[in-house]
Amino acid sequence: MRQLLFFSNNKNKIIEIKKIFNNFNLELLSLNDLEISEEPVENGQTFEENAKIKSDYGFNKTSIPCFADDSGICIESLNWKPGVLSKRFLNNFKSNKDCFESIIKSTKKNNKQNAYFKTSISLTVKDNQNLIFNGKIDGKISEKATGRFGFGYDPIFIPRNYNKTLAELRTREKNKISHRSIAVTKLINFLTN
């Protein structure tokens, strides 16, 4: 397997994943490289189900071994939501800033700061044959949004044993600890062994 398709149109995710893959002798393709813009409906109830929907779709469309991830944040003060609806939850607000303020307010009101990020990666190499790799990082919601790196909820998430948000960590540092890099490393270990 020399070519591998990463099923994503998210520029930030693609950059992050390509940096993790840099040391391996695999050609990583993205949807942009193949000029694919349509995506399947992600109607799974779990991160694993959504990742599988996307990796199956990519493989069926291109016949290239394909992996996809689904990630999100789970916040204790929101009853461990938004989870698989993380992107939609963020997009329901006028701005990221409004969303972050709402989450921080809820965290303070309920006195519950815990949160975690989870990634599930599905690899499809044959029809309806999937391997799943999970990554998780525990932490807490910060008291204010800070940092200019990262994307999504990174500005309000402080990983356990850190005093900075993910958005304050440069990509290299984030890639050492992030939920996505944990799952991707499991995927790479599988591909290279």
pLDDT confidence of residue 18: 83
- Place 146 in a pLDDT band, splitting at 50, 70 and 90: very high
Segment 148-155 shows an average pLDDT of 90
For the annotated catalytic residues, the residue numbers are 70
The answer, as to whether pTM is greater than 0.75, is yes
What does the alpha-carbon distance between residue 58 and residue 40 come to, in Å, rounded to a whole number? 9
Listing DSSP states for 27-75 in one string gives EEEETTTTT---------SSHHHHHHHHHHHHHHHH-S-EEEEEEEEEE
Examine the pLDDT at 26 and tell me if it is beyond 80: no
From CA 140, how far away is CA 103, in angstroms rounded?
A: 11
- Cβ pair 118, 46 in contact under 8 A: no
Residue 1 has pLDDT above 70, yes or no: no
Render the burial of 29-52: b for 16+ CB within 10 Å, e for the rest: bbbeeeebeeeeebebeebbbbbb
Mean pLDDT of 2-17: 86
pLDDT-wise least confident of 16-30, 117-131, 135-149: 16-30
| 88 pLDDT more than 60 | yes
Per-residue pLDDT, 171 = 82
> Domains in the chain, please, with CATH?
3-192 (3.90.950.10)
Q: Residue 165 has what pLDDT?
A: 97
Query: Mean pLDDT score of the chain, rounded to an integer?
Result: 92
pLDDT digits (tens, 9 = 90+) for 166-188: 999 988 888 889 998 899 999 99
Q: 33 pLDDT exceeds 80?
A: yes
Average pLDDT over residues 36-41: 90
Q: In the prediction, which pLDDT does 113 show?
A: 97
Backbone angles phi, psi at 70, to 5 degrees: -135, 130
